[in-house]
Structure 1
Amino acid sequence: MRVDVVLPCLDEEAALPWVLGRMPDRFRPIVVDNGSTDGSARVAAELGATVVTEPRRGFGAACHAGLLAATTDVICFMDADASLDPRQLPLVAGPVLDGEAELVLGRRVLAPGASWPVHARLGNGVLAWRLRRRTGAPLHDLGPMRACRRADLVALGLADRRCGYPLEMVLRAASAGWRIAETEVDYLPRTGRSKVTGTVRGTLRAIGDMRRVMAGREGRA
């Protein structure tokens, strides 16, 4: 069975050759260009990826555009910055394909040489703890590599178009009675600087978005 892989992309020209070159068989990359000023879209197209342009800035906006462009029954999401290895996508998609879970998240395990700033790791840990208490889902990481069924995700009607999109996905999935699981994946040295967790300001912005989602005030801009 083929699986579409949504890759939100903002200025990842340097990382895309490695990422797309390691895409497993039957996994089709959909690169969603979210306002890149480098050659990301051109590089992705030259390497055979489907390229979608989403002019509305925001991680959730890019993810949602990729979701709407996908056509396979099961889809995956992952970052395009080379911090995650596409060859581990089958580990995440497998339980969904086999009918063992409706949503699977990759729990990031720090690889040698990788950087996960303390402020970002602490915020992620607190958020995962709150999710466990609120939903009962056995999650320890709000991991960006994940898999689910496309039609079911569309039906959830996610509204956030900013950094709260991944959190809203878990909250709505739990409310809908989805079986949620996680599996370990490697967290590698990324290419370039993170647009979100690379700075304290970016992390605080993401935390603000997620607090709004927790409170039921999803961001659309």
Structure 2
Amino acid sequence: MKAVTTSPPPPDVDVVLPCLDEAGALPWVLARIPAGWRALVVDNGSTDGSADVARELGASVIHEPRRGFGAACRAGLTAAEADIVCFCDCDASLDPSLLVPFVREVADGRADLVLGRRRPQGRGTWPTHARAGNLALARMLRRRTGLRLHDLGPLRAARREPLLALGLTDARSGYPLQMVVRAADAGWRVTEHDVPYLPRVGSSKVTGTWRGTWQAVRDMRRVLREPVAPTTAGGVRR
């Protein structure tokens, strides 16, 4: 008799973790992935052995040679299989276990996209220039979409298929904003909750300097100039 094989069931939740030289932070981050969830570490050209560390700790590793935060997030979303996909930075500044109530809110149908509003823990956790840039973008986002958000942080949760249907294209630091803008244009219910923001391990690749912050703001301003997308995009408008 021919043996019957079955594919393993998809994970409850996939957590996309964009990664560039985060070997020192990965043990802390991956230890806090909730049981039953799958960690998708997207290696974006690390030279410190991050991919090997992630693999040894049980994470699924995806290699994305195209540099850029958005490119890494897109690669992770494309590789995801779970119904609900989360995103989290891989630098130990955010605890992925905080995503549990975010996922519950999406699964229960109370929200389509849930974001974490970062609350710095300790002096110097969030540099003044980075916080100022984030505040300015939040105000521009409010004018563009009407969403009264305070942060464009990386901790977030949504359903995979609607996310894919948004057709996100930004390969750089504009990706998080593009997700929110297109979700708003599609009529998604977007909510925001406070989360503790911890001192990161290592140096920031985006907002660690005034120059990096300015480049991120430029990327996001470009996103805000995009034309309004059709309200049916994403397939969750009610």
Same fold (TM over 0.5): yes
Would you say the 8 A contact 1:104–1:180 is kept in 2? yes
Give 1:151's aligned residue. 161
CA shift digits 1:163-218 (9 cap, x unpaired): 1000100000000000000111110011001111111111111111111111129x
Give 1:124's aligned residue. 134
Give 2:230's aligned residue. none
Counterparts of 2:169 and 2:96 in 1: how far apart (Å)? 27
Which residue identity is paired with 2:90?
A: A
Give 2:218's aligned residue. 208
Would you say the 8 A contact 2:86–2:157 is kept in 1? yes
Kindly state the Cα deviation for residue 114 of structure 1 after the two structures are TM-superposed.
Answer: 5.4
Give 1:189's aligned residue. 199
Give 2:82's aligned residue. 72
CA shift digits 1:130-166 (9 cap, x unpaired): 2122212231100110001100010010111111000
> Do structure 1's residue 53 and structure 2's residue 63 form an aligned pair?
yes
CA change 1:26–1:138 in 2 (3 A) is: farther
CA shift digits 1:59-116 (9 cap, x unpaired): 0000000000000011100100000011211132221111100001000011135510
Counterparts of 2:128 and 2:152 in 1: how far apart (Å)? 15
Counterparts of 1:191 and 1:111 in 2: how far apart (Å)? 14
Would you say the 8 A contact 1:138–1:181 is kept in 2? no
Larger Rg belongs to: 2
Kindly state the Cα deviation for residue 127 of structure 1 after the two structures are TM-superposed.
Answer: 0.8
Kindly state the Cα deviation for residue 125 of structure 1 after the two structures are TM-superposed.
Answer: 0.7
CA change 1:190–1:131 in 2 (3 A) is: same
Would you say the 8 A contact 1:196–1:202 is kept in 2? yes
Which residue identity is paired with 2:226?
A: G
Give 1:178's aligned residue. 188
Q: Secondary structure at the match of 1:211?
A: helix
Counterparts of 1:159 and 1:19 in 2: how far apart (Å)? 27
Aligned partner of 2:48 among 20, 38, 52? 38
Which residue identity is paired with 1:162?
A: R
Q: Which moved more, 1:188-197 or 1:132-141?
A: 132-141
CA change 1:113–1:94 in 2 (3 A) is: farther
- Flag structure 1 segments of 5+ consecutive residues without an equivalent: none
Q: TM-score, normalised by structure 2?
A: 0.88
Counterparts of 2:195 and 2:38 in 1: how far apart (Å)? 19
> Do structure 1's residue 141 and structure 2's residue 151 form an aligned pair?
yes
> Do structure 1's residue 110 and structure 2's residue 110 form an aligned pair?
no
Give 2:231's aligned residue. none
May I ask how many residue pairs the two structures share in their alignment?
Answer: 217
- Flag structure 2 segments of 5+ consecutive residues without an equivalent: 1-10, 228-238
Percentage identity across aligned positions? 65
Q: Secondary structure at the match of 2:163?
A: helix
Give 1:62's aligned residue. 72
Q: Secondary structure at the match of 2:93?
A: coil
Would you say the 8 A contact 2:141–2:224 is kept in 1? no
